[in-house]
Amino acid sequence: MNRFVRTLLLAGLVLWCFTAQAQSTRLRAANKQFENMSYVSAVRMYEEFLRADRKKDAAETREALIKLGFSYRKLQDSRNAERVYAELVKENSDLDSEIYLYYAQALASNGKYRDAQKMYSKYGEKQGEDLRGRRFTVSYMDMNRFYQDSSSYRLSSLPVNSRQADFSPMYYKGGLVFVSARDESGSIKRVFNWNQTPFLDLYFHADTNQLRTPAPEMARAANTAQVGGSAPAEQAAEVNVSPDKGITKAELFSRTLNTKYHEGPMTFTRDQTTIVFTRNNASKGKSGKSSDGVRKLKLYISNEKNGKWTTAKEVPFNSSEYSVGHPAFSPDDSKLYFVSDMPGGYGGTDIYVVEYNNGEWGTPVNMGKDINTEGNEMFPYADGNGNIYFASDGHEGLGGLDIFFAELKDGVAYKGVENLGAPINSEKDDFGLITDKSRTTGFFSSNRKKGISDDDIYSFRRSCKQLNLIVYDKKTQQPLEGADVRIVRNGVNQDLLVTNTRGATQMCLDANTEYEFKAVKEGYALNSARYSTLTQSPAPVINISIYLDRSENTIVKGVVKREVDDKPASGVKVTLRNEKDKSERTIETGPDGGYEFDMKPGAPYSISTKKDKYASRTKQLGKTKNPQVVTDTLGLYGEGDVYELKNIYYDLNKFFIRPDAARELDHVVGLLKEYPTMKIELRSHTDARASDSYNMRLSENRARAALDYLVSKGISPKRLTARGFGESELVNDCGDGVECSEADHQANRRTEFKIVAVQ
């Protein structure tokens, strides 16, 4: 993997302490390069010292070997790192435990899993806090799990790759933006001292379809599947490797955003008018460096206006004392995932998440120990379902950085993490994956052997393990058109499919998944079938039939949505209760917020929703006599949601509740009575036509007037707070000194309510 991406994130993490002693001139010169993180020069000088002076002083030889091994490690030269650490371990028995960890990692990166297993075991024996020693020792006993799905993938090295590093692609307007150390002008003016490579910039290629075109030259990926052995032939994957002469040109993404410093991984909002990207701290002078003299990574944000990117600004959670980088927006732009080595993490670099709402940032939160380890987690990416991919050398893998997947429920990786396995992962560094919801196609970065040079970008395509679902009338054996088939994946509702004229529908199966398929149609009783891919079937196509009995049952179906934005709510437990016999059935909504049940006639039912930090809701459905389909939408109110009361406006310089405002507040009264445990904050705003202090007092009076009105309607004042914002949060550009219409000013004289508690 390109040095920059890890160097600045990790530069301050490992500070070696060596005993002060007299040193030879050669060793002092090498140590100076090492301390300056000039690892290319340090390697050359340490090798010269060891060839010339190694027999003179055992302590100096040991010090030189330790620092030489560490330098090769930083340069991602695993073969030389293995050589140096092997000599260290052979000649010394009192080494720090980290030496055995680094040796094990170098061995794994070179595909020597049996030897790596021994060194991980040794590392585990020498210390008990870091669980990687134990986990990797057990993991390398059976490598087959890393190759279960390998035959489904086909990889292609992109024609856009250059002789320098190319990595971290991101979708943008039908093309790819990516990071590259290339210099299209052909004249390199500046190089990065760490590894003597050019500084990084953002580049763009406009057509992903062109990039997916298979290259003419074919080669087999060299993967290992068993300890000490080669992968079985059926587990290998074809990799298209682009010849040098086939390189496709890419253009600089933005001369405004690219600078003389590093610009690194980036992410875009859904409308692709906002970018957040990584840059090493570009502040001039001492302020640009941390107390240890290193320029850390920071995140910058820019907006596109009239086809050009505005000057980038820092995000508020940057620091000069630690790095913040590798951003990834969630699919709804409400969260940003990023990487940092800030204090309080679990290991080297951890993945964090921060809320993002209307341009305002929340407080970063660590993603927790299910995601983060004692090692390094990097390069997050959130797919269209809101689940994340990331790279890690702390979770068990094939060596270097491997790519992992985690399904999130309320921000938690509730089922742990899944290694994507070969051929996406290799013994080298694999990272920076982007893909669609079903992981059918996508792109990722790797420095595996078949790349042209250093990091390269690969495309992948996963062949479909097809499942055909056919729904029949049980009595007539005829296929049923228009039946709904709900896909339940590992206990959570997912897609809703509809059968065609042949009663059939199709889907692609994922590996290591428990499926349930629920078929429902008006006039029939619901029925389901189960299928597991925890074990592999040799059949290329799976067929499952579901038979439905005629029934007098009523079908109830609908969608759970968030009231604040009318978007489907996932992770909601929806319970249908038979009020006659007290029986219950519960499902959990998926990305589409959908649910389906059938109800027996003649019995009263209720349907309820429950999700953490959302107000629970129960709705009576009553009895039904004839078979029918009942559709409904259930709304959820959540903590932190802010609602604008559209018709609450005030006359200029007044805070009395107008009749139109009273009617709108009556809706809030109804809501608070429906949810008796809900607490809200009334938030009032003014226009800019007066002094700041006057407007603040006026807005406080307006918020208080709204509160008093709700209290007059029987709402307990303990459930209400009032807060004025003055002119601090205008909804338009009508600030001080700006001429605007009365209608524009009135838009700023508004009241909102924010839900602060739901129980």
The answer on 263 and 231 residing in a single domain is yes
pLDDT above 80 (res 77): yes
* DSSP 8-state class, residue 100: H
- Residue at which a domain ends, from 419, 436, 462: 462
Phi-psi region of 181 (alpha: psi -120 to 50; beta: other; left: phi over 0): alpha
The answer on 624 and 491 residing in a single domain is yes
Where residue 449 falls among pLDDT bands split at 50, 70, 90? confident
Mean pLDDT (whole number) for 387-414: 93
Query: What pLDDT, on a 0 to 100 scale, did the predictor assign at position 632?
Result: 82
The answer on 221 and 366 residing in a single domain is yes
3-class DSSP state for residue 577?
Answer: strand
Query: What pLDDT, on a 0 to 100 scale, did the predictor assign at position 654?
Result: 56
Q: Which residues pair with 472 in a beta bridge?
A: 479, 547
User: Per residue in 481-497, pLDDT tens?
Assistant: 999 999 998 888 888 99
The answer on 246 and 160 residing in a single domain is yes
Containing 586, the helix (H) or strand (E) segment is strand 584-588
CA dihedral 494, 521, 560, 620 (to 10 degrees): -140
3-class DSSP state for residue 557?
Answer: strand
Instruction: Give the lowest-confidence range in 62-76, 193-207, 263-277, 295-309.
Output: 193-207
The answer on 138 and 156 residing in a single domain is no
CATH number at residue 737: 3.30.1330.60
Instruction: Give the lowest-confidence range in 145-159, 619-633, 695-709.
Output: 619-633
**54-84 in b/e burial notation, b at 16+ Cβ within 10 A?**
eeebeebbbbbbbbbbbbbbbbbbbebbbeb
pLDDT above 70 (res 9): no
CATH number at residue 488: 2.60.40.10
The answer on 162 and 98 residing in a single domain is no
Instruction: Give the lowest-confidence range in 43-47, 339-343, 515-519, 694-698.
Output: 694-698
The answer on 688 and 570 residing in a single domain is no
Q: In what side-by-side order are the strands of the sheet with 751-757?
A: 642-644, 751-757, 679-684, 720-724
Cα separation, 419 vs 437, whole angstroms: 17
pLDDT above 90 (res 53): no
Instruction: Give the lowest-confidence range in 14-23, 49-58, 213-222, 314-323.
Output: 213-222
The answer on 556 and 522 residing in a single domain is yes
User: Per residue in 100-116, pLDDT tens?
Assistant: 999 999 999 999 999 99
Mean pLDDT (whole number) for 369-375: 95
Residues ≥6 apart with Cβ < 8 Å to 527: 518, 519, 546, 547, 548, 549
Burial environment of residue 670 by CB neighbours within 10 A (0 to 12, 13 to 18, 19 or more): exposed
pLDDT above 50 (res 286): no
Query: What pLDDT, on a 0 to 100 scale, did the predictor assign at position 12?
Result: 42
CATH number at residue 17: 1.25.40.10
Looking at the 3D structure of the chain, how many domains does it have? 4
Where residue 658 falls among pLDDT bands split at 50, 70, 90? low
Query: What pLDDT, on a 0 to 100 scale, did the predictor assign at position 238?
Result: 44
The answer on 560 and 499 residing in a single domain is yes
Residues ≥6 apart with Cβ < 8 Å to 713: 665, 666, 669
CATH number at residue 257: 2.120.10.30
- Residue at which a domain ends, from 462, 482, 510: 462
Chain-centroid distance of CA 264 in Å reads 17
The answer on 738 and 613 residing in a single domain is no
User: Per residue in 227-236, pLDDT tens?
Assistant: 222 233 333 3
The answer on 215 and 136 residing in a single domain is no
Query: What pLDDT, on a 0 to 100 scale, did the predictor assign at position 432?
Result: 97
CA dihedral 90, 96, 101, 106 (to 10 degrees): -50
Query: What pLDDT, on a 0 to 100 scale, did the predictor assign at position 655?
Result: 58
Where residue 76 falls among pLDDT bands split at 50, 70, 90? confident
Burial environment of residue 723 by CB neighbours within 10 A (0 to 12, 13 to 18, 19 or more): middle
Q: Which residues pair with 585 in a beta bridge?
A: 576
The answer on 164 and 116 residing in a single domain is no
* DSSP 8-state class, residue 661: H
Containing 266, the helix (H) or strand (E) segment is strand 263-268
Q: Give the residue numbers spanning the domain of 8.
A: 3-147
For the chain, give the mean pLDDT: 84
User: Per residue in 510-549, pLDDT tens?
Assistant: 877 899 999 999 889 999 999 998 876 777 789 999 999 9
- Residue at which a domain ends, from 636, 659, 683: 636
pLDDT above 90 (res 183): no
